[in-house]
Amino acid sequence: MTIRPFAGTTPAVDATAYIDESAQLIGDVAIGRDSSVWPQAVIRGDIHSIHIGERSNIQDGSVLHVTHDGPYAPGGFSLKVGNDVTVGHAVILHGCNIADRCLIGMGSVVMDGAELETELMLAAGSLVSPGKILESGYLWQGRPARRIRALSDEEREYLLYSAGHYVRLKNSYQQM
């Protein structure tokens, strides 16, 4: 794995987290307990902070970045990923907030200032526009993302199952 400091700040990774050797973590990044970062993921906290909670997984080829403080974005946009979040393959998260127990489908893009409330699913290939707030408890889909329907009880259970599966998988990798 490549963990690089930037501007005097080195990524902080919990001892229980798994970071694949081909992933890159740069600058003001924090990775929580039992979380995992998979091959070719890039998490670049060079101009603002990135915080990933507990038991969350950032899958292969995903890119996480932020926006600096400036005249077009006063205060900038940090990036926060809550607990028990599954971020699918090749997702782009940029200066947004993802609450607990969300699933972000493969190839989705979530832009500056967007917020995903707790317990929701974002379908593969979706686009969440800057500043948009996605309400808890629903499946969201499309470009731009639209509310499709309420999540079933089984889908809500799957959110925790998915996060737990990745904790078990990272444990297997750590034992190799």
The pLDDT of residue 6? 97
The pLDDT of residue 36 is 98
Q: What pLDDT shows up at residue 1?
A: 60
Measuring CA to CA, how many Å separate 101 from each of 21, 56, 136?
A: 26, 9, 10
pLDDT of residue 176: 87
pTM of the model: 0.97
Please report how many Cα atoms fall inside a 13 Å half-sphere around the Cα of residue 112, on the Cβ side.
11
Specify the CATH number for the domain of residue 68: 2.160.10.10
The CA dihedral of 123, 13, 22, 106, to the nearest 10 degrees, is 0
Domain that holds residue 12: 2-174
Cβ–Cβ < 8 Å for 44, 24: yes
Name the domain count of the chain: 1
Q: What is the pLDDT along the chain (176 residues), one digit of tens a residue?
A: 689 999 999 999 999 999 999 999 999 999 999 999 999 999 999 999 999 999 999 999 999 999 999 999 999 999 999 999 999 999 999 999 999 999 999 999 999 999 999 999 999 999 999 999 999 999 999 999 999 999 999 999 999 999 999 999 999 999 98
- pLDDT tens, residue by residue, 11-57: 999 999 999 999 999 999 999 999 999 999 999 999 999 999 999 99
CA distances from 48 to 9, 65, 94, 96, 116 (A): 11, 8, 11, 12, 19
